[in-house]
Amino acid sequence: MFCAGAGAGEEAGPLRRGCAGDRGSEAGGHIGPVSTSVLAQEILPHVTDVPVFVAGGIGRGEAIAAYLEMGASGVQLGTRFAAASESVAHPAFKQAFIRASARDAVASVQLDPRLPVIPVRALKNKGTQDFEATQRTVAAAVSAGELALAEGSCRSSITGPARCAARSSRAMSRPDR
Ligand SMILES: Cc1cc2nc3c(=O)[nH]c(=O)nc-3n(C[C@H](O)[C@H](O)[C@H](O)COP(=O)(O)O)c2cc1C
């Protein structure tokens, strides 16, 4: 769920900040910890001076109508359109979406509090297992003193290799290096 409008998140109190930053936990992709329906009830009655859009787990017109009735200015749908013929996603990706049921989507878990994980809700597959295995390997290496925590944090993230490469290239391009 998010508010449209410049600076909406920064200017107001905690409720407004939540409005700008949170996405319902039912969404596909990166998620917040709170469900869309709870966020909607917490935010929509109180934030009336900027447009609020609701996102996360919406798949039918009745649900859209309900959020508009509650005061939303609009909604954002992602998963519902991922398998549409207009979508440029790979056909195998679309088929996986079409075959799946709601229970096949899981939020990524953080196995070690030292290694940050931003939760992502996605279909459970080999990538999910690999991500967890990588976290275990990295956590063991950090505990054994074989890997610095900063390096371990970037290696264990979902976008690990890309993030580590970006970090290294930023460090290399610093004038004092
Ligand atoms: C395949 C996929 C990729 C996504 N990629 C991004 C992204 O790169 N950045 C982002 O802010 N949101 C991303 N989202 C989230 C959507 O913008 C949207 O907030 C979310 O899909 C809404 O929830 P829903 O999927 O339940 O409709 C992605 C969603 C999906 C399904």
User: Could you report the per-residue pLDDT of 123-164, keeping only the tens digit for each?
Assistant: 999 999 999 999 999 999 999 999 998 888 887 776 665 666
User: Could you report the per-residue pLDDT of 99-115, keeping only the tens digit for each?
Assistant: 999 999 999 999 999 99
In this structure, the answer to whether residues 108 and 139 fall within a common structural domain is yes
Q: Is the CB of 32 under 6 A from ligand 1?
A: no
Last residue of a domain, one of 82, 115, 149: 82
Q: Is the CB of 135 under 6 A from ligand 1?
A: no
Measure 108 CA to ligand 1 centroid, in angstroms: 15
- Report the alpha-carbon distance of residue 108 to residue 125 in Å, rounded: 11
Last residue of a domain, one of 28, 53, 82: 82
Closest atom of ligand 1 relative to the 26 alpha carbon:
26
- Nearest residue (by CA) to ligand 1, atom 15, is 29
pTM metric for this prediction:
0.79
Last residue of a domain, one of 32, 53, 82: 82
- Report the alpha-carbon distance of residue 42 to residue 22 in Å, rounded: 12
Q: Is the CB of 121 under 6 A from ligand 1?
A: no
Measure 23 CA to ligand 1 centroid, in angstroms: 10
Q: Which of 5, 146, 28 is nearest to 19 (CA)?
A: 5
- Nearest residue (by CA) to ligand 1, atom 28, is 29
- Report the alpha-carbon distance of residue 171 to residue 62 in Å, rounded: 51
> Side chain identity at 3, as an amino acid letter?
C
Judge whether 129 lies within some domain: yes
Judge whether 67 lies within some domain: yes
Judge whether 143 lies within some domain: yes
The domain in which residue 169 lies consists of 103-173
